[in-house]
Structure 1
Amino acid sequence: MVEHDALSATRDAYDDVALAYAEQFRDTLRDRPLDRAILGVFAEAVRASGEGRVADLGCGPGHITAHLDGLGLAAFGVDASPAMIELARQAYPGLSFDVGSMAVLDIADGVLGGVLSRWSIIHTAPQELPAILAEFHRVLAPGGHLLIGFSASEGPSRPTQVYDHTVAPAYRWSPDHLAAMLRTAGLAEVARLVRQPEPTDRRQFQEVQLLARKG
């Protein structure tokens, strides 16, 4: 009941800020060349695996899903927030977006060439994350790739760390700890991008993106 209440509260919070969120992040990649680069690497890895469909999990208003589509991937979006999904459908009517939970994806086993989880795990409690990663593994085809982004904790001695997100309570993760969790889930790290905070960033956290492959 507590876990369900937390999910509902997070979903409702994103419903409330959906319009403002979409406006704030619509052009988020424009000034982030490193993010564009790692998404490009992810797209190449997916194409090389021979499986084209990609799920953008926690897609929000759909701008990153559309970017993946522009990179030649058959991308679709899933988000727990109905308001976000409605905005995504309005903005990108040629793409597919559905309301859903990362914990129980309505996707068959082993059918995806890629899964993108771009800061979508930050509201997941540490004890719930292994099941989420197992679900990512389940839907990926052998050789498929996961790109997962998150905010880093302050060091390996602090595998997780709570911080005050503007929408809902959130977690930062030790990159090495999360990479180990991926290995346990059957996803081997291929590459790692660590972005240091800019002086103007509101939060002085490292941003980490891990590219992993299902064996």
Structure 2
Amino acid sequence: MSEPEFLTSTRATYETVARAYTEASREGLRERPFDRAFLTLFAELVREAGGTPGGRVADVGCGPGHVTRFLRDLGLHAFGLDLSPAMLGRARETYPDLEFREASVLDLGVTDQSLDGIVALFSFNTVPPEHLSVMLNGFRRALRPGGLVLLAFSVRETPLGMTSWLDHEVDLPLQRLVPDEVARALTDAGLPVVSQTVRAPRPPHETRPYAHLLASRPTVF
């Protein structure tokens, strides 16, 4: 089966901008206090839920690996997944002590119920609506009962075709992402939302609102 076009275009874009993106992300999460706060909360909830000692967590769309590093420093057994070999190369070069694997949001390449948590920060904005349920159902299958999902994304009411990024020509279709719609998709996939937060942009680098959603696979008794 051929891969969906959006995955091909997303991979091609990140292969193109890998070096520039890594340089732009060199400060990691230092200037992103909301992301740090939600990742810290996520780590605490993963530990509270039990499961695998240390909490086995996938950082989906890990890019250059700074979020994976942050999760590991919080005490979780975190590893990174990305569909771009160039990005994975950058991550492995920067964090040689961490594990990074090639995978897509539609196929994490892990066994069912093998994860205590999944983080996807700004890494599914190219997923078309017809593939969002596939992604989230895959997340649910990968999680143990009681496992958690943390999603973060910029709120976008209309799709956008991105043609230039980090001084490179790209072809990146960014999809409509509205918090209530993503929350419904999570619930429909069997991952009811436990927290939904939308915040105003923080100038000068942010121009639109941002959302953080926490969801959990219900515990089976």
TM over 0.5: yes
In the other structure, the counterpart of 2:199 is: 195
1:142-184 CA-partner distances (Å, limit 9, x unpaired): 0000001111134xxxxxx202443511113111111011000
Counterpart check, 1:12 vs 2:15: no
TM-superposed deviation, 1:5:
3.1
Deviation per residue, 1:30-61 (Å, 9 max, x gap): 12211111110000011111131000000001
Name the CA distance, whole Å, in 2 between partners of 1:16 and 1:152. 25
- State the alpha-carbon separation in 1 of the partners of residues 60 and 3 from structure 2: 19
Residue of structure 1 equivalent to 2:83 = 80
Q: CA RMSD in A?
A: 1.6
Identity level (%): 45
Q: Any idea what SS the aligned residue of 1:187 has?
A: coil
Q: State the alpha-carbon separation in 2 of the partners of residues 28 and 206 from structure 1.
A: 20
Counterpart check, 1:107 vs 2:113: no
Structure 1 segments unaligned to the other structure (5+ residues): 155-160
Per the TM alignment, residue 7 of structure 1 is displaced from its structure 2 partner at its CA by: 1.5
**Residue pair 1:78, 1:100 contacting (<8 A) in 2 also:** yes
Task: Supply the distance in 2 between the matched residues of 1:175 and 1:192 (Cα, whole angstroms).
Answer: 8
Check whether the contact 2:179–2:211 (CA below 8 A) recurs between aligned residues.
yes
- 1:2 Cα deviation after fit: 8.5
Contact 2:200 2:209 in 1 (8 A): yes
Superposed counterparts of 1:138-149, under 5 Å = 138-149=141-152
- SS of the aligned residue for 2:192 comes to strand
Alpha-carbon distance between aligned partners in 1 of 2:174 and 2:2, rounded to the nearest angstrom? 16
Partner residue of 1:158? none
Aligned residue for 2:181? 177
1:23 aligns with 23
Q: 1:163 matched to which residue of 2?
A: 160
CA distance in 2, matches of 1:182, 1:26: 32
2:211 paired residue among 196, 208, 211: 208
Give the number of aligned pairs.
Answer: 208
Deviation of 1:98 after TM superposition, in Å, equals 0.6
